[in-house]
Structure 1
């Protein structure tokens, strides 16, 4: 029976060890609430750290916690040591990822030690999941602490249904590119079938980074990876609307009762955050100071209730932030306060949910001005709690929720004057307008609540997993696959092997893709087997491929079938073509090369190739299409074709293709095993020309006529090693 496995850094249950024994406290946070209905399904699990360092536990404690969490709470604990918590969570997560993703590059620290800890903890989560993952399970991974986990699961469970949701912003490419381990993070995330973000801004930033760093293009926010398709989409997280809207606040603390009584004759502004430099708290205080300076008529008529929940005060940056806030509060109160009025009340403490709802309902304005925030659910809680449709939200445009709550007063968090004007606009707004704006926001957040958010993501993950089903089966190299058995039993084999993207990975420029020592050794060993005829069939120029592989006992078909060379022999042209057409085509290519930094022209005997792998991805699409149309227009009355490969446009004689090369070697001789392997559009001619009984393999994703797929040139190397082993074993026997 299939189940859902949720994975997050923290479990929805926190374990504490006291003298009286182990204590278990359930979370009432938004994530736990949203996933509750799924988590309560039979057999479902939630994996994460239980909130207590493993150093503080003996083996008996760990076993007891594991059994209790599994039996009573359907949770799977991942135990972390104090050192792991310090290096992985306080280190890499909060000193590298958190500040960088929130655009605080000056706070970002780069440490190889904490990066290694991050990898180890992600591996630890993966190892904890292995015993519980079933073939049909859905795995939903949450947040920036586990960005390597999707790919780890994908590699062991290639057919798994994996979702990932990032609860913080994803930065623009210019910021993300600063991360030393950017490729590893992106590859880790791309193990998922579905990647979710709070806003479409974050979606665009992510696909832009993937395109620029990994060279993977998206089509309607779908990314074709080696083994699967990844869908990227926005899922703005909601709140438990009914809880905040219908919760009764008659039973509040004595402190809140005194607050309510003391503010009957004053307008209240409330600000609620945890202590963090991303929240813009000092700027908020300065903006309130500006408000008091610019609008003296509000003196003794308004009060800012600044609620800051303690967080990481042992860290110098956060302790310094707390001292700065205290200083600014003292300055404002010292300058503007009177015997009867203190303009800023600073609460450095946590409040119960009931007390916070009371704050919401007795405040005229909620001031939410983070410098950067993934979503900010406090804004939605305030709107929901105001069941009277009163109270106005003043919100920073850099909070994720701003894209949903457009009826709020939206401000620039760095512009103190704009925030001051926003506060005044909210306080002066006619009640009828406030209620109309709030009704629209209520309607939106009551429909898109946290359970709707979870339902939508799970449904989208199911759809994305269906989209990800490959059109061709992945070749499983098990030792007894039909291809391997046919190879071992064959007496006369013909092997057509493409070069770029098949035997070697793509490089920045064509001349960097020279064969490595292992590849030359494998091809040498394969060609030693007298049963084998090894053919390198490539679009490469004959001179460069001869320079690289001409000393091997292999046949070479170059320039997409135009040139043919037997081992140790001279080149033979397979079809009569000329190059009189080159000059006007070269002129067009040079014009676009001048306009597109990073592009280059490769000239071959009877073709011209325009490479754009190094070009700026955001600008290349339009220019590439424009150039392709220009080339098609000028060549349509000629015997030329425009061939589109992997980051290359090539103009050549349309009569020449790799299928023509196949016919050269199959029309006379008979073979009992034929293999053709390639990676792009040019190899489809090869696949189409192969005899029906031949084996064909497409490297990578995309539509193909090939019968099988392999993920990458790396997996092709595995197949080559296998074939060499079989050949050597046969020779030995």
Structure 2
């Protein structure tokens, strides 16, 4: 006889007290000895949150990077990992489309024109719903959920609808645009409502939080005071939401430790020798992205050579441009522009012994990057718009002898903390040129004074402090 006992159904709560939700999981797939395996991602976010997850019984929700591949939940590096499946079509519409061809340019001051397509928006909503449902299923009663970045702006409200018992935070890693720019988004109200589902919304800079609050007042009609605004749900219940800045940082002590490693120090000497032992080595390190100001940097350097203010015999620029979103048309165009400019400058100024610009279109492990930081006399960060720019902080952390000069765009979040850098307006090519020349000829005493102050800031405000500050503020919100 069949069992007719009624099934109470699954519990509405999961097993994990702390959930991180991001577009990607905290691990990368690798092949070792012909076998597929996983390794913990080297990024700062994982570095900051992995210890929290290990102590708080945590889970990480994200896409595992392979389109159309179903994958069961698994444990790795002390974390429970909850893969979210995305089809190839969803990657195209949600990620390459709405996230990176609509939101990314819009949030970066429309340096490139954003595209608005309803099919992209529909995919964005659908994928955000899937992330929210996976998070709701994993979270224990009263759990804390921290949603990360612009790809998942609808998740907080969707998650609150599914699980009103949760404490929800959101952090926006990129800039948030002024109202006049944000207003262009056809789905501006829906995105704001999605974000307002969180209890605490973090931004890189106070100006980003102010931009967001202004948009909430304008498009949602919510009253606000000192970054706190009141949301009213469909039942008339009120809820207070806070928007404020939490500048992200790096694992600065790890970078400093690598910078003291004798093998890495020796590698830095080798790099300079391989480049012909230039008197001055300039360095640029960026994703190949139109927000990073790479063409402007190359233009400034080319003009310095043309003006004979620097010479190829004494000065070399190394430009590392790691591949980025190579299927998106704007990025293909940018790569062609950058490589054409490098070719023109080198063709004009190279000698048989010396190269003006060593261009490297690839990514490197952190050890090689630290060696490059040690080798370089000057780091050039000329972004047109950047939420933070962690490369600038990594360079500072690596300069354990308090030498080296940072030329830093005032349009980066890092400029608000690293005030002792030589700050530049990237659009002012003459100003960038003058800053480069000043950096090359700066007296060692001034160099040490500036770098010492910046290192103090970076070492005291590392990525672990960033995560601790945010999570402490989130606990206080309810």
SS at match of 1:28: coil
Contact 1:2–1:136 (CA under 8 A) maintained in structure 2: no
Q: Does 1:261 align with 2:266?
A: no
**Separation in 1, partners of 2:55, 2:280:** 47
Q: Against the structure 1 CA distance between its residues 297 and 377, is the aligned structure 2 distance closer, same or farther, given a 3 Å change threshold?
A: closer
Q: Does 1:114 align with 2:120?
A: yes
Query: How many equivalent pairs are there?
Result: 457
Match of 2:198 among 186, 192, 195: 192
Contact 2:136–2:162 (CA under 8 A) maintained in structure 1: no
Which residue in 1 is equivalent to 2:59? 45
The Cα shift of 1:400 comes to 0.9
**Separation in 1, partners of 2:382, 2:310:** 24
Match of 2:37 among 12, 17, 23: 23
Contact 2:380–2:407 (CA under 8 A) maintained in structure 1: yes
**Separation in 1, partners of 2:311, 2:405:** 17
Contact 2:58–2:79 (CA under 8 A) maintained in structure 1: no
The Cα shift of 1:14 comes to 2.3
- After superposition, the C-alpha distances for 1:143-186 in whole angstroms (9 at most, x for unaligned) are 00110000111223334211000000001111100001000000
Q: Does 1:318 align with 2:331?
A: yes
Q: Does 1:90 align with 2:96?
A: yes
- After superposition, the C-alpha distances for 1:115-160 in whole angstroms (9 at most, x for unaligned) are 0000000110111122222232111100001100001112233342
Q: Does 1:33 align with 2:47?
A: yes
Which residue in 1 is equivalent to 2:145? 139
The Cα shift of 1:424 comes to 0.8
- After superposition, the C-alpha distances for 1:9-50 in whole angstroms (9 at most, x for unaligned) are 101112468995542121011000111221112421111111
Which residue in 2 is equivalent to 1:459? 472
The Cα shift of 1:295 comes to 4.3
Superposition CA RMSD, Å: 2.1
Q: Against the structure 1 CA distance between its residues 322 and 47, is the aligned structure 2 distance closer, same or farther, given a 3 Å change threshold?
A: same
**Separation in 2, partners of 1:81, 1:406:** 45
**Separation in 1, partners of 2:256, 2:176:** 31
Contact 2:223–2:229 (CA under 8 A) maintained in structure 1: yes
Q: Does 1:399 align with 2:412?
A: yes
SS at match of 2:291: helix
**Separation in 1, partners of 2:160, 2:166:** 7
Which residue in 2 is equivalent to 1:173? 179
Consecutive unaligned residues of structure 2, counting only runs of 5 or more, are 1-14, 233-237
Which residue in 2 is equivalent to 1:236? 247
Consecutive unaligned residues of structure 1, counting only runs of 5 or more, are 466-733
Contact 2:50–2:79 (CA under 8 A) maintained in structure 1: no
The Cα shift of 1:246 comes to 1.5
**Separation in 2, partners of 1:265, 1:327:** 24
Q: Does 1:150 align with 2:156?
A: yes
**Separation in 2, partners of 1:188, 1:117:** 15
Which residue in 2 is equivalent to 1:418? 431
Q: Does 1:73 align with 2:79?
A: yes
Contact 2:292–2:385 (CA under 8 A) maintained in structure 1: yes
Q: How does 1:124-523 map to 2 (within 5 A)?
A: 124-226=130-232, 227-247=238-258, 248-251=260-263, 258-262=270-274, 263-465=276-478
Larger Rg: 1
Contact 1:5–1:44 (CA under 8 A) maintained in structure 2: yes
- After superposition, the C-alpha distances for 1:512-565 in whole angstroms (9 at most, x for unaligned) are xxxxxxxxxxxxxxxxxxxxxxxxxxxxxxxxxxxxxxxxxxxxxxxxxxxxxx
**Separation in 2, partners of 1:251, 1:274:** 26
